[in-house]
Structure 1
């Protein structure tokens, strides 16, 4: 259970100002652990159903990036999703889909960086000219979070320096950088630096 300041009725005893809600489905509220346990038998089928049917994916619209819950069926890999090549190579398979192909919306660096070709370091022209609203989902159909999106984006941004090197050797680059271990080392270091920044700048 997780605490919240939202005032709700307990699903078991109907008392007002229930402070806790189910940590799984986030929908049923309780005034105590005892009430949650008492309601579990009737709540369990619905709770499991909700958890199975909803999934988080990341939406990118221009410079905006946010998480959105959608029916799990929306992430069916056969329904217009295509793989992000670099994320597959570094061990975090992600798919992308044009959520709304509005050509008046300009292309966004934040979206197309995950679409770069691992050999050339460039995204195809279809992602560079008004790619519209796009969505990213994990290929294993678990939750795709904004934090993971930024981790992948940041790592691929970091890789771009290698492509501009005059002595670029793709085979060496693939072995050294396009793997899960290299991504995890970078990810852990980034998280450490972010935490240090938050501690030094608590007001931000």
Structure 2
């Protein structure tokens, strides 16, 4: 549809329990969706592929139902490794889109999430991060190419280690996910 932009919904703990859902799924948002008025996520800006994220409005009396660690990871500050308080807990499901309104695939969203996870590993190991080692398009693309190879070769182990589920009938083929910048 010409007025729709491809995005990704990331399910919180409650919504993941709905049959037929993966950890995240492709979705669409209208070109005039308020998501595009939001400030981009900090790390995504530093690697020249700004993403925006908004809550879907999931509610639950059990706050643990609203956990969405992927959203927290996507929202981290590049200098501290911490997400702002509003993205640390009780988030609910979220929609993530590209600020430039280009299509965001499930593969690319997973890549951005795992890149932030690698950044957090660096903070964990060293207590700080050398920004020039991580925050550029060139650094991300190099990491992305390695990640795609690893994702294709070790998919089952990766899914199990990260609690990922694939939507029945969905594609989990990492042989050619494309470059997020080549759209």
Above 0.5 in TM-score? yes
3-state SS, counterpart of residue 91 of structure 1: coil
Matched residue, 1:74 = 33
How far is the alpha carbon of 1:174 from its aligned partner? 1.3
1:144, distance to aligned residue in structure 2 (A):
1.2
Structure with more strand by fraction: 1
Larger Rg: 1
Please give the TM-score of this superposition, normalised by the length of structure 1. 0.64
- Cα offset, 1:77, TM superposition: 2.3
- 1:114 corresponds to which of 63, 68, 74: 74
| 2:135 matched residue in structure 1 | 178
Distance 2:67 2:49 in 1: 24
**Alignment partner for residue 3 of structure 2, among 50, 53, 57?**
53
Q: Is the 8 A contact 1:75 1:137 kept in 2?
A: no
Unpaired runs of 5+ in structure 2?
A: 14-22, 156-172, 174-183
SS in 1 for 2:10: strand
Cα distance in 2 for residues equivalent to 1:54 and 1:162: 37
- Distance of aligned partners of 1:174 and 1:106 in 2 relative to their CA distance in 1, 3 Å threshold: same
Across the aligned residues of Structure 1 and Structure 2, the Cα RMSD in angstroms comes to 2.1
Q: Secondary structure at the match of 2:82?
A: coil
The question of whether the paired residues in 1 share the 8 Å contact of 2:26 and 2:106 is answered with: yes
CA gap of 1:75–1:167, structure 2 versus 1, over 3 A, is closer
Q: What 5-or-longer segments of structure 1 have no aligned partner?
A: 1-49, 199-203
1:75–1:141 Cα contact (<8 Å) kept: no
